[in-house]
């Protein structure tokens, strides 16, 4: 799987030299407001996690471009059973591959996200237990969001991530779990090619 991801990013970068009009490479970080849809439990509340990673955007000679990302993300959900507070803590390497359309400094982006589970634990009143064996190793989600370009190579984005796949291992537990979250990101562009900067006004 790791080799496939590296191959994808290599082909993605190579396509820039042939087809792209704009290129943007940078880093991003921010909070996750995550929850889970559990088939056997109601009243699941959200928890606050975080994500950190990198992104690469290529503007194609069309009305849209492609933005691919790789990010480490902590997410999960919290619920109460018999006065005991249960908290699912899951960690993923998420790979969104998004179609992005820019309208001036604003952009709209959407597309699939592939997730690789790295860790999972259950916290019972603060005591953690490893439950990684209760979940499958991969997740699949749909992403939709808005972004805005700020001065000095900074940017902000907000997006909704809806899990489409049951991540519970049905061979271990007879229940369905789907991840969902809102993400707020601050990003910083490290490399920009073909992106016009505002011209400085000169006094005559």
Counting residues of the chain whose pLDDT is more than 90, the rounded percentage is: 67
Domains, in order of start, for the chain: 21-190 (2.40.160.20)
More confident residue, 193 or 75: 75
Spatial separation of the C-alpha atoms in residues 197 and 16, rounded to whole Å: 20
Mean pLDDT in residue range 51-70: 92
Phi and psi at residue 7, to the nearest 5°: -65, -40
Residue 189 and residue 25 in contact, taking contact as beta carbons nearer than 8 Å: yes
User: What is the 8-class DSSP label of residue 171?
Assistant: T
pLDDT value at residue 126? 78
Q: Dump pLDDT digits (tens) for 81-128.
A: 888 889 999 999 999 999 999 999 999 999 999 999 999 999 988 789
pLDDT value at residue 127? 86
pLDDT value at residue 12? 52
Confidence class for position 204, pLDDT limits 50, 70, 90: very low
Residue 165 and residue 6 in contact, taking contact as beta carbons nearer than 8 Å: no
Q: Is 71 helix (H, G, I), strand (E, B) or coil?
A: strand
Cβ neighbors of 200 (< 8 A, separation 6 or more) are none
Mean pLDDT in residue range 159-179: 92
pLDDT value at residue 62? 76
CA distances, 79 to each of 25, 43, 44, 142 (Å): 39, 7, 5, 24
Residue 57 predicted with pLDDT over 90: yes
Whole-structure pTM value: 0.85
Spatial separation of the C-alpha atoms in residues 32 and 45, rounded to whole Å: 13
Average pLDDT score, the chain: 88
């Amino acid at each position: 799987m790791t080799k496939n991801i590296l191959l994808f990013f290599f082909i993605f970068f190579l396509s820039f030299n042939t087809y792209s009009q704009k290129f943007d490479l940078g880093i991003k970080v921010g909070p996750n407001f995550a929850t889970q849809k559990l088939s056997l439990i109601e009243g699941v509340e959200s928890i606050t996690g975080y994500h950190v990673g990198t992104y690469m955007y290529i503007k194609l000679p069309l009305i849209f471009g492609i933005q691919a990302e790789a990010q480490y993300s902590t997410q999960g959900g919290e619920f109460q059973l018999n006065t005991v507070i249960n908290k699912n803590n899951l960690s993923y390497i998420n790979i969104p591959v998004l179609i992005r359309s820019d309208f001036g400094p604003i952009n709209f982006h959407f597309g699939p996200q592939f997730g690789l589970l790295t860790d999972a634990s259950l916290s019972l009143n603060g005591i953690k237990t490893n439950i990684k064996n209760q979940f499958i190793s991969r997740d699949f989600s749909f992403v939709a969001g808005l972004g805005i370009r700020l001065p000095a190579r900074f940017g902000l984005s907000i997006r909704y991530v809806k899990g489409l796949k049951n991540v519970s291992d049905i061979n271990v537990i007879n229940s369905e779990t789907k991840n969902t979250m809102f993400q707020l990101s601050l990003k910083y562009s490290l490399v920009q090619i073909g992106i016009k900067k505002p011209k400085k006004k000169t006094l005559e």
